[in-house]
Amino acid sequence: MSKRKGIRIVAGLWLGFVMSSSVSAESDVAWHGFVSQGVMQASKSNFVNDSGDVSFKLTEVGLNLSYQISPTLRLASQAVYLNGGNRYPEGVRLDYLFLDWNLYSAENWQVNLNVGRFKNYHWLYSSTRDIPHTRPSIILPQSLYYDAFRDFAKGNDGAALLVQGDGTLGSWELNWSYGDTPIERALTKTLLGDAAGGRLEQIFDHQLSFYFQPRDSFSQFGVAFVNSDFEYLKSEQDAFVDGRANTRRIIVNYKYSAEFWDFSTEAIHENVNYQNMLFPGYQQELYSQGVYFQGRWFATSNLTLLARLDLFDMNKNGRGGEWLELQSNGQIPHYFGYSDTLTLGTTYRLADNWSLQAEVHRIKGTGRLSPAVLPDTEINDSEYWNMWAVQLMYWF
């Protein structure tokens, strides 16, 4: 069965679920949603648009539902409409639709199996990045939460196993998942550029993570492992050739949650291997590294202030990016080899279900702009650039 046909089937199941939920018992069905609209500008870059002008392409609308089929079986789904400019393709998405089966439940631990289009629970913000008012900022740290990867980083079509326990030393979580994500034509162009006429497919995505919170502690420690394969199938008129890419990630994280402030950090070490794709015989192996440090101060019950430093190097063996200029014969500037960002932001709770979020970013480097493989050097001709965003959020 083709992936496009699979998407239509999944979408049909979601619509059927929405219709059936209206006649189900109220106690078995829970539904929520959100609407957010913002304005943003990223000067001297194509992060939002090609002109660098003020843009209202900061729209997120979503509806999520949960249907308790039985005491041990639940159906969960979420559909969204997104418009983020050049960050990812505009349109409607079925973010997740899965059966959540409670395989075992005891006083101190439980085991759940998710089957379908499941959510990614492996990173600190991977399971909440799709809901505006649950994110710490409008734009997440791009070293790990690269917006161009949003659609296949949020989850996969397959199976996930979630195990939670509570022992004498503290509480822990073990998460495992295996699956793949359909990649639409628009997303292929976002990742590879307009010259890509073929299809990019994710062959598999295999992840494992472990979290531990010591008893009577404000600290949480975590580690995640990712192994994912991609394949490119060229078209008759194409600047690319058939090829493959593999990415392996190790992510370690830490979070400290106090009464009036919190601190979180995630560090990533990634090995990316390209075979062919750009031309026959092409092979490149890169070891990328990134880390962010984020602090929030809950000044009042309604006001939160945020500061974050996000660092990313595409090649740890050439952090200054000179290798890019050498390989491209000077066509790609060195500053496409890294991306360092300082972010200051605030969130104000206007009412029970209303929030206003605002932030400014100062960026050095263009290593996290799209396209990712063949960068746009004409528009992104500045090493230093600025970005700001304001977003109004409502949820129910």
Q: Rounded distance, CA 245 to CA 241, Å?
A: 12
Average model confidence (pLDDT) for the chain? Answer: 93
Average pLDDT over residues 306-310: 99
pLDDT for residue 12: 52
User: Which tens digit of pLDDT belongs to each residue from 230-285?
Assistant: 999 999 889 999 999 999 999 999 999 999 999 999 999 999 999 999 999 999 99
- 284: containing domain: 34-51+99-395
CB neighbour list of residue 143: distance below 8 Å, 6 or more residues apart: 268, 290, 291, 292, 310, 311, 312, 339, 368
- Is the confidence at residue 7, as pLDDT, over 50? no
- pLDDT at residue 182, as a whole number: 93
Q: Taking residues 1-20, what's their average pLDDT? A: 48
Domains identified in the chain, total number: 1
In a domain, 337, yes or no: yes
- Is residue 20 one of the residues assigned to a domain? no
In this structure, is residue 192 part of a structural domain? yes
Looking at the chain, the whole-number percentage of residues with pLDDT higher than 70 is 93
Span 84-123, pLDDT tens digits: 999 999 999 999 999 999 999 999 999 999 999 999 999 9
- Both tokens of 160, joined, read 């996930």
Domain membership of residue 41 (yes or no) is yes
The pLDDT of residue 337 is: 97
Q: Does a structural domain hold residue 130?
A: yes
Q: How confident is the model at residue 65 (pLDDT cuts 50, 70, 90)?
A: very high
Q: Does any domain span residue 5?
A: no
- For residue 247, the SS3 value is strand
Confidence (pLDDT) at 152: 85
> In the predicted model, what is the mean pLDDT of residues 4-23?
48
Rounded Cα–Cα distance for residues 364 and 330 (Å): 19
> Rounded distance, CA 145 to CA 153, Å?
8
pLDDT of residue 3: 45
Domain membership of residue 68 (yes or no) is no
Query: Does residue 354 fall inside a structural domain?
Result: yes
When pLDDT is averaged across residues 291-319 and rounded to a whole number, the result is 98
281: left (phi over 0), alpha (psi -120 to 50) or beta: left
* CATH at residue 137: 2.40.160
Mean of pLDDT values over 50-59: 97
Could you tell me the pTM of the whole model?
0.91
Q: Is the pLDDT of residue 19 over 80?
A: no
